[in-house]
DNA sequence: TTATTTATTGCATATAAATGCATTATTTTC
DNA sequence: GAAAATAATGCATTTATATGCAATAAATAA
């Protein structure tokens, strides 16, 4: 009996019974339990089933819920963005780009802050729509699906008319020479417009983004007012950035 | 019996009865209470339930998550909106208003439909952003927070320039004399613009919205092309609506 | 074809997990 | 506060798993 046949048998059996037991399969297929276990491990690593002690069960369906956004290293991001909370004041006009760091930031904005926030990120807008005192303006346009942000001329047009006190820009990559750079061209354009429209430009990111580069330039370091990472502002990895004149929080 | 099965049993039982009792489970599953306790502790540490003295109870709703939108009577809504799926065709330009019925509709749009959809509802945009073949355009503006939709002149301006094949309008209330009516003035204006912009106007709602009234008029029945409820199209409760010439699905 | 490599399988062994029991600690109830 | 119920802990036993090894089968190269 070929391995492929066995795997098929196992998967059929699994659907039938919601589970398979190693010893039963060994008996039914007249093979050693070792082989069955190896099969189960293989199927498990292909995510076709879930190996458990004594056998295997069906993979529980991935919540399939569009609305729960996974944030990697959320704790680290909380640590970063909480430093930036001091930059917020009542009556500011704020622009926020997308990105999970900014999303974490949005969650932590104090409930009593009264401000106007422009954003073009769906998750951030969802988050801020729960905020009692924020005037929230969503910048419409064509959706870029994976990032859940709007892009394109519509966005640029709106952004370029805003007179903002401060903007928070997520960063794909940053380095000394090229400054902020982005994976996508469209996003880079929008961010340029954001910077143009804001008195103060803040970028928050984890230190692993330092000294990396993406294809599309956004701005050089001199155009950034403040950067925020999880590092101590005096950390030597930030030395060169400090020299460039950007304020490090 | 595999541990995974047991855990599943326990969780099912927990949902059924709101609680589980260690001794009962031990009896039902023919295992020592020790094992049950170990199971409960394990599930507790995974935050799937809360261990208490003598057994376990359901973990209290966190629901602090902005992103899980509660949809009441989701099954009924699925039933309604699935009737309307036949109205969808490739290459249509579609406008969708907000509302949980439309959200359910968005979830059910077939993955292979190629169309352009305009919406001003955050949850609907989130949902559709998962769709591989939909060109999605979000209509920006000031957010009305509780409804998670944009409103105002910005929205009207964009909507009035769309040439749509079909629009799907959620309904607060509908009756024979006043037609569609809305709670909020702003929303009513936006819906008027949607109707103006669309060749075909569809409204989906549960039958309990029939013969009710809200302060702000949207349109009369003659402007609606199709209405969809959970009722049989021949149901007598729809008699008067049928006479008005609207198509009932 | 033959020689060589690569996969598959079963077995032996060491390790790990699960379970129940006895004992002790803790919590609840009265 | 005392009695009863429930939990936690260590330990022994059973069962399942991983791993290296050898035998065999299958695929590949020469």
Please report, for the domain that includes residue A14, its CATH number. Answer: 1.10.10
Residue numbers in B near A52 (CB within 8 A): 2-4
Cβ distance B126 to A127 less than 8 Å, yes or no, reads no
Cβ distance A136 to B123 less than 8 Å, yes or no, reads no
Q: How confident is the model at residue A18 (pLDDT cuts 50, 70, 90)?
A: confident
Structural domain of residue A184, as residue ranges? 74-248
Cβ distance B66 to A127 less than 8 Å, yes or no, reads yes
Give the residue from B57, B82, B97 where a domain finishes.
Answer: B57
Cβ distance A55 to B158 less than 8 Å, yes or no, reads no
Show which positions of strand C are touched by protein (CB under 7 A). 8-12, 17-22, 27-28
Domain CATH number, residue B233:
3.40.50.10470
**Strand ranges (E), B4-131:** 19-21, 50-52, 55-57, 93-96, 115-119
Question: What's the number of domains chain A is made of?
Answer: 2
Tell me, in Å, how far CA of A61 is from C1' of C27? 39
Mean pLDDT for the stretch of residues A49-65: 79
Shared domain check, A88 and A38: no
Q: How confident is the model at residue B18 (pLDDT cuts 50, 70, 90)?
A: confident
Residue numbers in A near B145 (CB within 8 A): 129-131, 136
Closest CA to A164 of A89, A56, A109, A229: A89
Residue B7 beta carbon within 7 A of nucleic strand D: no
| A201 vs B50, higher pLDDT | A201
Shared domain check, A102 and A10: no
- pLDDT at site B146: 87
Q: What's the burial of A77, exposed, middle or buried (CB within 10 Å: 0-12/13-18/19+)?
A: buried
Shared domain check, A116 and A186: yes
Shared domain check, A173 and A145: yes
Shared domain check, B99 and B183: yes
Residue numbers in B near A141 (CB within 8 A): 137-138, 140
Residues 6+ apart with CB under 8 A from B165: B92, B93, B94, B198, B199, B200
| pLDDT tens readout for residues B153-186 | 999 999 999 999 999 999 999 999 999 999 999 9
Mean pLDDT for the stretch of residues A156-176: 95
Shared domain check, A139 and A21: no
CA–CA gap between residue B214 and residue B171 (Å, rounded): 10
- pLDDT at site A17: 86
Closest CA to B140 of A80, A120, A101: A120
Q: Is residue B66 part of a domain?
A: no
Q: Measured between CA atoms, how close is A240 to chain B, in angstroms?
A: 40
- pLDDT at site A64: 57
- pLDDT at site B65: 66
Name the interface residues of A facing B (CB cutoff 8 Å): 18-19, 21, 50, 52-55, 57, 65-69, 120, 122-123, 125-131, 135-143, 145, 148, 150, 154, 158
Q: How confident is the model at residue A234 (pLDDT cuts 50, 70, 90)?
A: very high
Asked if B56 contacts B21 with a C-beta cutoff of 8 angstroms, the reply is no
> How many residues appear in chain A?
249
| pLDDT tens readout for residues B201-247 | 999 999 999 999 999 999 999 999 999 999 999 999 999 999 999 99
- pLDDT at site A65: 66
Mean pLDDT for the stretch of residues A17-40: 89
Residue numbers in A near B158 (CB within 8 A): 140
User: Strand, coil or helix: what is B89?
Assistant: coil
Q: Measured between CA atoms, how close is A249 to chain B, in angstroms?
A: 29
Shared domain check, A141 and A34: no
CA–CA gap between residue A233 and residue B174 (Å, rounded): 61
Show which positions of strand D are touched by protein (CB under 7 A). 5-10, 15-20
Domain CATH number, residue B44:
1.10.10.10
Residue numbers in A near B161 (CB within 8 A): none
Residue B19 beta carbon within 7 A of nucleic strand D: no
- pLDDT at site A223: 95
Asked if B224 contacts B203 with a C-beta cutoff of 8 angstroms, the reply is yes
Q: Is residue B52 part of a domain?
A: yes
Reported for A71-75, long-range contacts at CB under 8 A and 24+ positions apart, including other chains, are A71/A100, A71/A103, A71/A104, A72/A100, A73/A206, A74/A104
Q: Residue B70 CB: number of other CB atoms within 10 A?
A: 7
| pLDDT over 70 (residue A176) | yes
Shared domain check, A42 and A150: no
Q: From the C1' of D15, which residue's alpha carbon is nearest? A: A54
Q: Is residue A148 part of a domain?
A: yes
Shared domain check, B83 and B31: no
Residues 6+ apart with CB under 8 A from B6: B29, B31, B39
Tell me the CA distances in angstroms from B50 to B3, B14, B76, B170, one per residue in order: 18, 10, 32, 39
CA–CA gap between residue A174 and residue A217 (Å, rounded): 10
Cβ distance B126 to A126 less than 8 Å, yes or no, reads yes
A66, A127, A137 member nearest B142 (Cβ):
A137
| pLDDT over 80 (residue A52) | yes
For residue A119, the surrounding DSSP H or E stretch is strand A115-119
- pLDDT at site B11: 87
Q: Is residue A69 part of a domain?
A: no
Nucleotide nearest A22, CA–C1', reads D16
Supply the angle between the helices A3-17 and A33-45 in degrees, to the nearest 10: 80
Shared domain check, B93 and B13: no
Kindly report which listed range (A185-199, B58-72, B73-87, B167-181) carries the lowest average pLDDT score.
B58-72
CA–CA gap between residue B171 and residue B101 (Å, rounded): 9
- pLDDT at site B61: 60
Q: How confident is the model at residue B199 (pLDDT cuts 50, 70, 90)?
A: very high
């Amino acid at each position: 009996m070929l391995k492929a046949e066995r795997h098929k048998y196992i998967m059929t059996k699994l659907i039938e019974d919601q589970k398979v037991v190693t010893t039963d399969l060994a008996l039914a297929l007249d093979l050693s339990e070792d082989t069955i276990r190896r099969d189960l491990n293989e199927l498990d690593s292909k995510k076709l089933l879930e190996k458990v002690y004594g056998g295997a069960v069906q993979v529980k369906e991935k919540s399939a819920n569009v609305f729960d956004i996974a944030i990697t290293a959320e704790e680290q991001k909380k640590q970063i963005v909480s430093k930036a909370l001091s930059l917020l004041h009542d009556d500011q006009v704020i622009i926020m780009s997308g990105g999970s760091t900014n999303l974490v930031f949005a969650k932590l904005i104090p409930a009593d802050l009264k401000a106007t926030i422009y954003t073009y990120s769906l998750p951030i807008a969802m988050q801020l729509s729960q905020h009692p005192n924020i005037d929230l303006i969503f910048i419409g346009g064509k959706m870029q699906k994976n990032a859940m942000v709007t892009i394109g001329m519509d966005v640029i047009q709106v952004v370029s008319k805003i007179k903002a006190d401060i903007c928070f820009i997520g960063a794909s990559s940053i380095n000394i020479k090229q400054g902020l750079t982005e994976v996508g061209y469209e996003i880079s354009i929008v961010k340029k417009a954001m910077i143009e429209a804001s008195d103060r430009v803040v970028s928050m990111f984890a230190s692993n983004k330092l000294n990396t580069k993406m294809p599309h330039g956004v701005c050089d370091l001199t155009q950034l007012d403040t950067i925020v990472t999880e590092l101590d502002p005096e950390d030597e990895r930030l030395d060169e950035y400090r020299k460039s004149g950007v304020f490090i929080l």
